[in-house]
Structure 1
């Protein structure tokens, strides 16, 4: 979960995610701290107790399990497994942290740590003071209750720069951009979905030889999620592959103009087709269904379901013991779910991603919120540092809003997998915490278990799970 101003968010997201990656990507050998550690403490983040999180004390240093914080935030990192090193951020201002080393690198130089990061009992720990200084968190340790209190910073108000004396010149501060960020682009069910950070008035046209639909988004710029996929400066083109569509070859997007900043999205067609261009909140839809005569999403009382295949692109998620990537498995299941939902006359489906692209956690929730969805479901595969961990589990964030949905999905999916029933339980994951409608996150099984990993990559098993998910959604929605 993201807190504070944009600059703080970026640093926090980058720093936290690297250590989440370390947790899941480290070799099986567990490195222990050099001194005995004591536990049985708790962490409270912005007034909320984080379940399952216990700091430990090593050499009089409070060590925090980064897994907990990074699950609240999430971002991409570069992991060098052979050297046990993780690099946070880009070339301009990287943070470098090495498991077992008491020195971390930053743009301002090396930072000496109170205690080297280590992995103990399947959990990655870093010094609490380092978390506070690098992430901008307020930190307080209460000995009496053995509680660590972490508080997000409050952004300082911007103050305009004023010359100190008449006649002196002071550089004029750069005004914040008024461009709307384009955060995600996906195509599924013959419908292009564009998620913007603010309202955008799109302009469209058609071209022939070859046939294509052109959508210009004036006063817009690429957001961090799309920029994370590579350079998208003037003249650079991003491509969205489209499969299983008789109408569309691919989708291309680029910065068409810098003044005013304009994003252009092009749908390359197999043949000329009608389309319906419309907006809902900050979402932009280009619907090709029924030659462009299909009504907008949610029309005629249809339930709107958002399916969110986790991870994508550089964020592979968990990696199985034979190299299966979570991002690939969950996308395959998600596409099967979407295909089945499309056959339901009373349901409209939206995918947060329909190919191997990256969508930031906040943007996944935002897509569902902007669409006014009735249900949000995020699909994942589990990973543990032991091959003995097995089973299916489903999570909800707000019990009053989402527990029934989580319970229903768990019942159907666990019956389909036949894996151990790990239950429906509460967790503070970003995508289900920030969605305003009932939301759940299902972990189909463990990629770190050879039997479950093998099954989850089989087409018939994935179809069985997809059918179970759809059955659970239909039961919950009463359709």
Structure 2
């Protein structure tokens, strides 16, 4: 079982970077929750914990302690940048342990692939507390700039936040060799279905076809709430 610890930066009294009507703490929590759901819903053999799943303050030391106590296999700290730049960058600790670097290279490249058209600011090192205090391989990602007009416009789009989460989730899955659940295969085109059985025969009822995965996930949630076993299937026309 692979244990992934997701750390949405800031929270509570610490808003993080603020600009263009955006707060870092809210954006990274949104992204982290999407990541968690993607990993748990779509992959086998993975457990996920988070440093926070709501708007609360958690100290840097506590974030690392939680991951260490749980025995996490990977620590992923999600942030949004500020300071006049644009694009995506990732960090590992200055010690640069070989496995940490290897995992980061995979995750970074998958995120860049998911965010096509976004500037790749590079793979960097830093002595950030959450990277220094964690005992497992750790990465910190900076996902665009709230104070850059074009970046901020993208960050206001829920579909773009899903793309950020998707890049992280697929990067983690690739880095750790996670297997897709049988009923889950990624595609830009998804179908939401519910199923009923009679004897040895299974009847599948398609309840919608969607170009946007988020819409498909919303339909599945609606069906499950109504008491129907539902999942996302993939059709490639």
Give the TM-score normalised by structure 2: 0.71
CA–CA distance in structure 1, aligned partners of residues 155 and 64 of structure 2? 26
Does the Cα contact within 8 Å between 1:446 and 1:453 map onto a contact in 2? Answer: yes
Q: Counterparts of 1:445 and 1:408 in 2: how far apart (Å)?
A: 19
Deviations 1:106-157 (A, max 9, x none): xxxxxxxxxxxxxxxxxxxxxxxxxxxxxxxxxxxxxxxxxxxxxxxxxxxx
Aligned mates of 1:454, 1:368 — CA distance in 2: 33
Match of 1:394 in 2: 90
Matches within 5 A, 1:319-398: 319-320=18-19, 322-343=20-41, 344-384=43-83, 386=84, 389-397=85-93, 398=95
Task: Spell out, residue by residue over 1:172-222, the C-alpha distance to the aligned partner (whole angstroms, 9 max, x if none).
Answer: xxxxxxxxxxxxxxxxxxxxxxxxxxxxxxxxxxxxxxxxxxxxxxxxxxx
Q: What is the Cα deviation at residue 353 of structure 1? A: 0.3
Could you list the runs of 4 or more consecutive aligned residues of structure 1 that deviate by over 6 angstroms after TM superposition? none
Give the Cα–Cα distance (whole angstroms) in 1 for the partners of residues 107 and 16 of structure 2. Answer: 22
Q: Unaligned regions of 5+ residues in structure 1, if any? A: 1-301
Q: CA RMSD in A?
A: 1.0
Q: Does 1:428 align with 2:127?
A: yes
Corresponding position: 1:473 with 2:169: no
**Aligned equivalents of 1:404, 1:363: Cα separation in 2:** 26
Task: Verify: 1:457 aligned to 2:144, yes or no.
Answer: no
Q: CA deviation at 1:403?
A: 1.2
Aligned residue for 2:230? none
- Asked if 2 retains the 8 angstrom alpha-carbon contact of 1:376 and 1:438, the reply is yes
Alignment of 1:17-416 (within 5 A): 302-320=1-19, 322-343=20-41, 344-384=43-83, 386=84, 389-397=85-93, 398-400=95-97, 401-416=99-114
Q: For 2:105 and 2:16, how far apart are their aligned partners in 1?
A: 24
CA–CA separation in structure 2 for the residues paired with 1:407 and 1:443: 15
Query: 1: CA distance between counterparts of 2:156 and 2:11?
Result: 17
1:399 is paired with a residue whose SS is coil
Q: 8 Å contact 1:394–1:409 — kept in the other structure?
A: no
In the alignment, the residues of structure 2 paired with residue 332 and residue 350 of structure 1 have an alpha-carbon distance, to the nearest angstrom, of: 15
Contact in 2 for aligned 1:394/1:407 (Cα 8 Å): no
Q: What whole-Å deviation, never above 9, does each CA across 1:384-410 have from its counterpart, x for those lacking one?
A: 0x3xx1110000003114112222221
TM-score of the pair, normalised by structure 1: 0.36
**Contact 1:413 1:444 survives alignment (8 Å):** no
1:442 corresponds to 2:141: yes
Unpaired stretches in structure 2, ≥5 consecutive residues: 179-237
Cα shift at 1:323: 2.2
Deviation at 1:329, TM superposition (A): 0.5
How many residues matched? 174
Deviation for aligned residue 1:415 = 2.1
